[in-house]
Amino acid sequence: MSGEALYERYKDALRRGHVASLRGRLEDALEAYAEAASIAPERSTPHASAGTALLRRKRPADALHRYAAALRLSARDEAALLGRAQALAALDRRPEAADAFDALAESRAAAGKLADAVDAARRGLELAEGRDRRRTLERLIDRLRASEPGEPGRIALEQALLVLEGRAVAPVAPGQVGSAGGRAPSTHGTPGALPDDDAPPIEVEPPAPIGDEPPAPEPPTAGAYRRALDRDLEPGVHAAALALLAEDALDAEDPEPALALLLDLAAAYRRDGHIDGALDACYLALSLGPDDTGLHLALVELYDERGWTALATEKLDLVAALVDLDGREDAIGRVAATRSDRG
């Protein structure tokens, strides 16, 4: 079999794993990731993705084995480094978890991801106080300050400074993503929402091709990009009115207009400063369009606005992996523009 055909089989298995995870089907996801690993045994991505799927199902001990396999293949696999740290924290192995967050901070800093590096170093210091760990966090804070960060970076700085001052930061539940803003989002019991423990796997970057792969398209030029929640709302439209329209579309079992109306509703809630309402509208929309790129990019925007920087980054990385595997140039461009917009 040619390298190109083998790579297509690998991509298909990964895609099925990602989609199964997005839809909460853990066993199907694990089976697909195992298939991808058998096709390309030198790749770390299937093992890291399987580990994250297990971690979100509150199986941190099983997840650790998958992350270890990923790190044996790629010592700087960011998804595996993050997952290993989270799994150790979930198992209350605090000194080991702190060391793992230190390694993650080092990797992120080397990659130029200063805000996320500060966040990881903060998590390490929260888990285990230490002079060297504190000094590392101080150095990363200085580097982030000098970079003139945007809003996500400023939130990371604020959270890190609270820890240095000995003040508590809102805790993150085991298995959830440590982020600059504290807790990962709750679905508040919304029908059709994706539960926290069935959240999609972390995918740091799409796998390099086994055979030849066409180059990725260039990001859109300035002015060609619209944010996912920049919706064309009628002047003066109220969120309550949009909610009624969305309910009617849901009752009529007409998914396409219902999805569009729920995104309009999310945009209206966000406009009115009700981020929780916007998140709930998006979570409900997941039951209608779990593969909709615009919907997932809307969640990235809302996570960033909430200060859940790491969670937004992981969501964006997963969406990037999915659209790259599918080869949808318009979606790839939207994801690239979102990444550029976040800075």
Who contacts 113 (Cβ-Cβ below 8 Å, separation ≥6)?
313
Q: Which of 34-43, 235-244, 256-265 has the lowest mean pLDDT?
A: 235-244
Burial of 204 (0-12, 13-18, 19+ CB in 10 A): buried
The reply to whether the predicted model has a pTM over 0.75 is: no
Q: Is residue 298 part of a domain?
A: yes
Same domain as 71, residue 104: no
Structurally, the chain folds into a number of domains equal to 3
> Is the per-residue pLDDT at 163 higher than 50?
yes
Q: Are residues 22 and 128 in the same domain?
A: no
Both 135 and 113 in one domain: the answer is yes
Residue 328 domain flag: yes
pLDDT on residue 167? 57
Over residues 16-49, the pLDDT tens digits come to: 887 777 667 889 989 999 999 999 999 999 999 9
250 shares a domain with 164: no
Whether residue 66 is contained in a domain is answered as yes
User: Which of 65-74, 135-144, 158-167 is least confident?
Assistant: 158-167
Q: Is the pLDDT of residue 61 over 90?
A: yes
Amino acid identity of residue 197, one-letter, is D
- Hey, what are 191's tokens? 């029908």
pLDDT at 84: 95
Would residue 218 count as lying in a domain?
A: no
Asked, for residue 24, whether it belongs to a domain, the answer is yes
- The domain boundary, picked from 88, 105, 134, lies at 88
- The pLDDT of residue 197: 35
Same domain as 337, residue 239:
yes
Res 303 pLDDT > 50:
yes
Q: Do 29 and 112 belong to one domain?
A: no
- The b-or-e profile of 259-285 (16+ CB within 10 A means b, else e) is bbbbbbbbbbbbeeeebebbbbbbbbb
Residues 124, 84, single domain; the answer is no
Residues of the domain holding 23: 1-88
Q: What is the pLDDT of residues 102-117, one digit of tens each?
A: 999 999 999 888 888 9
Interatomic CA distance for residues 238 and 257, integer angstroms: 18
184 in a structural domain: no
Higher pLDDT, 244 or 219: 244
The answer to whether residues 232 and 307 belong to one domain is: yes
52 domain residue, yes or no = yes
Question: What are 22's two structure tokens?
Answer: 């997005």
Residue 107 neighbours by CB under 8 Å, 6+ apart: 76, 78, 81
Do residues 70 and 96 share a domain? no
Asked if residue 128 and residue 25 are part of one domain, the reply reads no
Give the residue from 88, 118, 140 where a domain finishes: 88
Residue 213 resides in a domain: no
Q: CATH no. for residue 263?
A: 1.25.40.10
**Is the same domain home to 100 and 82?**
no
Look at residue 310 in the predicted model and tell me its pLDDT: 78
Of the residues 67, 88, 109, which one is the last residue of a structural domain? 88
